[in-house]
Structure 1
Amino acid sequence: MQYQVLSPDGELKDIISHFWVGTWNPEYQSPNSSYYIIANSLTEITFAFESDAPRSKLLFSVVQGHTNTPNQFPVNGFYHLIGVSIYSYAIPNLFNISASELNNQFISLNTFLGSEGAILTEKVALATSTKERISVITRFFKSLIEKHWYKDKLITNAIQEIKKCNGNTKISKLASDFCISQKQFERRFKEFSGFNPKMYSRIIRFESIIRKSNSQSVLEEAAYTNGYYDQAHFIHDFKAFTGFNPSDFYKLGS
């Protein structure tokens, strides 16, 4: 698979983590008929195509909520994906719902956004290149900002601090630093992240390790330098977040 990560423009950098594009070669495999996910601190909107050809048919568009569990969903066979990864704290502002309402969700974009989703899907389907499709999605998110944009600065800063520390943060100290009670901190944190602070920190730590690792040996080394005290705890989290042990996980890409 060819995988590409693209940065959003400056106006969207506090809302969108990144755009991503995945393409599979039809000469080497059958169409992907399952959509596989692992633990993810971000919410993603994904558009699936038959191929990366300019006039390729758009097969489906989905919203994948942030999740702490792996899963697989049956879908129409695809070879090409374009996705946008959204910070969870932006969900309440953009879509007027608590981030926790999207936990572990996998729903069609049209179901989630109604007529707005149908219009966005049609525009992406009519675009003829990855660049044009991302431009369509960018314009959509800019229009949402113009309608309503307010963020809980305190909780946003807390979320960003956890990400900055790769999940290795004492939650009680974080609440104290922001001069807020533990109970109120956890309630507001869950609304804007989708998780309680402890679970969110675990997922961020897991993601930071995955990003640094392209093999099992590198993965285990990264785990020890990112706060895991022993291999047993690391393997436990890895299985919980991916559904595989490390050796089987890396076989998926071979």
Structure 2
Amino acid sequence: MEYNLIPPCKELENHISHFWVCTWNSSLEKPNTTYFVVGSSLSEIVFAFNGRDKDSSFLFSAIQGHTHLANQYPVDEFHHLIGVAFYSYTIPGFFNIPSTELNDKFIPLNTFLGNEGNVLNEKIAIAPSTEERIDIISEYFKLLLQQPKMADPLITKAIKAIKSGNGNLRIEALANEFGISQKQFNRRFKRFSGFNPKTYSRVIRFESVIKQHPTTSSLTEIAYENGYFDQAHFNNEFKLFTGFNPKEFWNLSEEDI
């Protein structure tokens, strides 16, 4: 399996985390028939193909919402994926809906976007290269930015603070800092992040562990550095978010399954 991350353009960097491209060797590996989801603070739009060359067939597209639960979805056989991962707090601005409406969802793109989804699928299907497909997706999101949008700058600031603190900030203190009641803070936070503050913090902390793992071999060390009380707590959270214990999860990654 070949996996690559591509940063967004400057105009979209506060809204989109990254683009990603994943390819399996069709001559050596069986086609994938399951789309795996792990806990993530990001939402994604994904486009699937039967291969990476320009004559490959477009198979399906879907929008996958942010979630704190591992899941699996049956899909058409694919060997190549192109995805765009965007911050859950940008959902109200992009699509004029509360972020909660995409929590734990996996929806065909044309069901979610209607005719806009059909048009986007057609453009992606006929584009001859990954670069051009990413350009098409980028232009679509730039157009979304020009539309009237729901916004809550205070809560967006709080979400970013939790993210920059790797999920280890005290929620009560954060609400007090912004001068709003805990109840109001929780309600507004969930509307724009898709999670309640504590769950969002747990997901961010898990993501911090995933990012740190390649730089150190000690999972115990990573767990304590990220505020887990003990190894059992870390293992339970990890299994909730991925469906596997840490060793199983990284063994699967190394085996390219």
- For this structure pair, what is the TM-score category when the shorter chain's length is used for normalisation? over 0.9
Equivalent AA in structure 1 for residue 96 of structure 2: N
Q: CA deviation at 1:28?
A: 2.7
Counterpart secondary structure, 1:147? coil
Conservation of the 8 A alpha-carbon contact between 1:50 and 1:78: yes
What do residues 134-155 of structure 1 show as CA deviations (whole Å, max 9, x unaligned)?
0000000111111224521101
Conservation of the 8 A alpha-carbon contact between 1:216 and 1:246: no
Equivalent AA in structure 1 for residue 242 of structure 2: T
Q: CA deviation at 1:29?
A: 1.5
> Quick check: 1:118 aligned with 2:123?
no
Superposition RMSD in Å: 1.3
**What's 1:132 paired with?**
132
**What's 1:38 paired with?**
38
Instruction: Provide the C-alpha distance between the structure 1 equivalents of 2:48 and 2:202, rounded to a whole number of angstroms.
Output: 30
> Quick check: 1:165 aligned with 2:161?
no
Q: CA deviation at 1:251?
A: 2.0
Conservation of the 8 A alpha-carbon contact between 1:216 and 1:247: no
Counterpart secondary structure, 1:229? coil
Instruction: Provide the C-alpha distance between the structure 1 equivalents of 2:247 and 2:26, rounded to a whole number of angstroms.
Output: 26
Instruction: Provide the C-alpha distance between the structure 1 equivalents of 2:16 and 2:33, rounded to a whole number of angstroms.
Output: 27
Conservation of the 8 A alpha-carbon contact between 2:110 and 2:116: yes
> Quick check: 1:229 aligned with 2:229?
yes
Counterpart secondary structure, 1:208? helix
Equivalent AA in structure 2 for residue 30 of structure 1: K
Q: CA deviation at 1:249?
A: 1.1
**What's 1:212 paired with?**
212
**What's 1:93 paired with?**
93
**What's 2:3 paired with?**
3
Q: How does 1:1-254 map to 2 (within 5 A)?
A: 1-214=1-214, 217-253=217-253, 254=255
Instruction: Provide the C-alpha distance between the structure 1 equivalents of 2:159 and 2:69, rounded to a whole number of angstroms.
Output: 20
Counterpart secondary structure, 2:214? coil
Residues 113-122 or 147-156, more deviating: 147-156
Equivalent AA in structure 2 for residue 27 of structure 1: S
Q: CA deviation at 1:216?
A: 9.1
Residues 118-127 or 142-151, more deviating: 142-151
Counterpart secondary structure, 1:213? helix
Conservation of the 8 A alpha-carbon contact between 1:70 and 1:241: yes
Structure 2 residues without counterparts, runs of 5 or longer: none
Equivalent AA in structure 2 for residue 168 of structure 1: N
What do residues 173-212 of structure 1 show as CA deviations (whole Å, max 9, x unaligned)?
0001111110110000000000000000000000011011
Instruction: Provide the C-alpha distance between the structure 1 equivalents of 2:116 and 2:220, rounded to a whole number of angstroms.
Output: 44
Counterpart secondary structure, 1:185? helix
> What count of residue pairs does the alignment treat as equivalent?
254
Instruction: Provide the C-alpha distance between the structure 2 equivalents of 1:249 and 1:25, rounded to a whole number of angstroms.
Output: 21
Structure 1 residues without counterparts, runs of 5 or longer: none
Conservation of the 8 A alpha-carbon contact between 2:96 and 2:150: no
Q: CA deviation at 1:64?
A: 0.3
Instruction: Provide the C-alpha distance between the structure 1 equivalents of 2:28 and 2:184, rounded to a whole number of angstroms.
Output: 52
Conservation of the 8 A alpha-carbon contact between 1:215 and 1:250: no
Conservation of the 8 A alpha-carbon contact between 1:38 and 1:242: yes
Q: CA deviation at 1:86?
A: 1.0
Instruction: Provide the C-alpha distance between the structure 2 equivalents of 1:63 and 1:208, rounded to a whole number of angstroms.
Output: 23
Instruction: Provide the C-alpha distance between the structure 1 equivalents of 2:146 and 2:132, rounded to a whole number of angstroms.
Output: 21
